[in-house]
Amino acid sequence: MTGSEDLLAEDLGVHGKVYPIKEIDLARSIQDKLLKLEESGELLKIKQEQQDKVKQRAERPKEVKGLKRATVNKEFTYDPSITANKNIYDHQGNIIVAKGKRVNPLSYRALPQRLLFIDGDSEDQVNWAFSKAEKTPSMIILIRGNIMQMMRNHKIRLYFDQNGYMVKTFGIKALPAEVRQEGDVLVIREEAL
């Protein structure tokens, strides 16, 4: 190996025309635009609009589409059983559910309360749900409406079926609807008011 003193540098000359960089520095450009927005008050306005959108979405989440008002009483069941597509092991490597075994979670843990699905913008559905909840432990779940205002008015915890996951799972097509456990199945009742 040679030491650094053995390295030589030499000027190889210019092999083409060199131009100065004329592109705008992206970071400086963004910083300048933000500064202009701040000076004009526009940045504060944008920030406030975003805060208002977030607050509005919290107050009134995106409604679940495709549900109609129940015009007839309809009752059907939902079996939450699943069949294991592979062995399921515990933390010690013991098989707790063998591949191919059918398992019903309701056999191990009961539904602790009834589920009441309502349109929070429908006064009669809201009254129906609160009337039922007074008699039987229930979880009220909205698919539409101002959930925060309802919780403030009624001083009760409410829930919202984000993206309609629960109504799709249970096959609910009309409201109001009640879900209750009977044995190892859930009974869904869409009720005409």
For 167-190, what is each residue's pLDDT tens digit? 999 999 999 999 999 999 999 999
Domain boundaries, the chain: 26-59, 68-80+110-190
Check: CB of residue 81 under 8 Å from CB of residue 104: yes
pLDDT in tens, 27-61: 888 898 888 888 888 888 888 888 888 888 888 99
Question: By percentage, how much of the chain surpasses pLDDT 70?
Answer: 96
Q: CA nearest 178: which of 63, 60, 68, 77?
A: 77
pLDDT in tens, 104-160: 999 999 999 999 999 999 999 999 999 999 999 999 999 999 999 999 998 999 999
Q: For every residue of the chain, which 3-state class applies, written as one string?
A: CCCHHHCCCCCCCCCCCCCCCCCCCHHHHHHHHHHHHHHHCHHHHHHHHHHHHHHHHHHCCCCCCCCEECCCCEEEEECCCEECCCCEECCCCCEEECCCCEECHHHCCCCCCEEEEEECCCHHHHHHHHHHHHHCCEEEEEEECCHHHHHHHHCCCCEECHHHHHHHHHCCCEECEEEEEECCEEEEEECCC
Check: CB of residue 64 under 8 Å from CB of residue 166: no
Q: What is this structure's pTM? A: 0.74
Amino acid 47: pLDDT = 87
Residue carrying structure tokens 């097509």: 173
CA angle 22–25–29, rounded 5-degree value: 120
